[in-house]
Structure formats: C-alpha cells, structure tokens
Amino acid sequence: GCCRLLCKPSALAQHLVRSLGRSLALWGGHWPWSRWPQLQMLRQLLQLPKLELPVARELLQLPDAGLVALDWVMGPRRAGNSSGGGGPSSVLLLIPNAAGKVTGALLELGLQGLEQGFIPVIFNRRGHNGCPLTTPRLQSFGDPGDLREVVTYLRCRHPSSPLLAVSEGSGSGLLLAYLGESGSSSCLAAAACISPIFRGRDWFEAGMPWLYEWPLLLHLKRGLSRYTGSLAEVVDMDRLLGSRSLRELEESLFCRTKSHPTSWEAYWERNEPLHDVDEVAVPVLCLCSVDDPVRGPPASSLPLELFRSSPYFFLLLTPHGGHCGFPRRRPGRCWGHEAVLEFFRAMAEFLPVEERRKGLLRPH
C-alpha cells in the first residue's frame, strides 16, 4: 500500500518485498482516523484491556539473586510449525516498553502469535508487572544483561526451536542494545521493533507530549513506590517520586545514586540502543510511522543511513500509524502485528535455503 521498505539491496530484501507484498494486512482497510495519531494515543490510553489471556508465570533467578518474570501465553495453538514447515514451533519473546507496561496491543500480538503456531512469552523486568524486586537494582534503559540471561534460558528450554523477539516502543532500546552487544552470538533467528526509540538520550531530553508522558510517569512511580524501603538504600526516594518528567526519574534512578553516582553523559555512553549497532548479525525489521508523536520528527529520530548501509536492518515506514497504533477496521486488530509475523515467516523461508546454498558453494 502506502508503506515503503528502506534497506540495502540484497537477495533477502527482494524476498522480503515479495513476502510483504502478498500480505493483505499492508493493503488498505485502515480506519479513516488513522491520520490523527494523538487521537489514536488517547484511545490506547483510555481503552480498557479487552484481553485477559491466561498466562503461566515463571520466575527466573539471575546471578545476583535478582528476579525477572516470564509469562507464557496459554491457550489453543494451531498445530504445526509457525513457519508452515514440519519443524518445531518458534518461540516468540515479547518485550514491553521501558516502563514495563503490558499493553492491550502486546497481548493481542501474543494471541495472534499463538493462533498462528508460535510459542509466545512475555519478558517482565525486575520489579515490573508484579515481578518481585529482590535486590535494590533495576534494569537501565539499554543494559541487556538480564535479557541475555533470559535468552540463554529460553535456548536451553527449547533447544530445537527458532527464537524470535519483538519489542514495543521504548522497550526496543533494550532489544537493540542486546543485538549489538551479542553480535553473531545473540541466539536469535530474527527480531522486530514496533515504533522503536533509536536515540535514547535525545528522546529523554526532548520530552514527549504530556498525554503520553504523564500516564507513563505515574505508572512508573506507582510501581516504584512499592519498593520504597529497599530502593531507599541506593536512591533518594523523595527526589525520585517527586520527578516531573521521565528524564528526572531516569536520572534519579541511575545517575544520582548514593553508591555509584554518574553523569548523564556517561550513563548514555553505556545505554544508547545503537552504540554497538555495527555488530548486529540477525535480520531486524523496524516498523515506524512518519507521524509518530512519541518518537519525534523522522529527520532527527530515524537513523536512515543505518538502513541504507546495513544488510540486517529493514525499515517499514508508513505515513500514518501513530505510536504502536497501525489500526485496522477490525476491532482490536493492528496491521503492524500481521506485518511483523509475515516478516518472521519470510525469514523462516529464506534463511535455511540461503544457508544450504552457502554450504554448497563453500569450498571443502
């Protein structure tokens, strides 16, 4: 339809264009009000979750005795491989935004994945979404350490299943940082980012529309207030709970600590999502909208040169879609989810064939 795919020319890119071209999700049928991203955002904030998916929670203990939670989405799943073949189903790791808010859209993606033969599991960071905070330490914006432990665990639990990852909004900073730090050892077959934040520092410093920032800030404060006793050992809780912006809260949590204070500049040297982007070695689809009011203007917030130069990054850019919106006429449906799942199917078709071809061409 009106979408554009920006990427470096390659056989993989050609295959992806053909696959996405076959997807009905990208051809028309969108709501007329898709041109008003602020209205979409208001609808997302005010709409009560329609889905109450049954999940099986699993707590994973980390090397420092901290805990993260994995919520396995339960329910009827289509028989057979998620890629249409005869092999094992793919594990679909869902990463919420940086505030840990599991949105209705993320639950809908999990349900769609389940219906199409994937094994969806939601990653909850320390202290998020009811996960107990057992150490006075939270996960910073671009620290992939906990995610690395989760991926290792999933690989051990499902050793023969392809592992895929999808992140939503600001949660993409974590996924991109993990892919860059891990390089060819990421254990992921492919990844996708829905409305990602590419430049973390610029995003915090620019701020967001109050319609989005204040609900997110209140959500974070409400969650952190549960751990006032343990966090008071390392941060100034009065300053933290009195923060009037996401930047102030981020600085209070990770820069103005009592034990290891650091500067705002030094913090972002370690936490920028793209600081090791040249090391990424798996296909990554980034689904973005030109009118995203949260990410900011495309000219300054989209790393267009990355998609032109890297063979692993693909930008699916649409004029209208808002932030993690991409609505369709069918209630509760997001055409972006269908595009992401189609991308994973395309990778499952292409990569094994390419590996076999390279094996035949490789000299003995």
8-state DSSP, 88: P
Question: Of these residues, 30, 128, 320, 323, which one is catalytic?
Answer: 323
Return the number of other C-beta atoms located less than 10 Å from residue 4's C-beta. 10
Q: 235-241 — which CB contacts under 8 Å span 24+ positions?
A: none
**Between vectors from CA 140 to CA 134 and to CA 144, what angle results, nearest 5°?**
95
In angstroms, the CA 161 to CA 154 distance is 9
Question: Of these residues, 30, 71, 292, 337, which one is catalytic?
Answer: 292
| CA-based nearest residue to 227, from 93, 136, 124 | 136
- To the query of whether residue 64 is one of the catalytic residues in this protein, the response is no
- To the query of whether residue 292 is one of the catalytic residues in this protein, the response is yes
In angstroms, the CA 351 to CA 360 distance is 14
Secondary structure E strands in 12-118: 55-61, 67-73, 91-95
165 CB-near residues (< 8 Å, 6+ apart): 92, 93, 94, 95, 151, 175, 188, 191, 192
- Find out whether 75 and 108 touch, Cβ atoms under 8 Å: no
Residues noted as catalytic: 292, 323
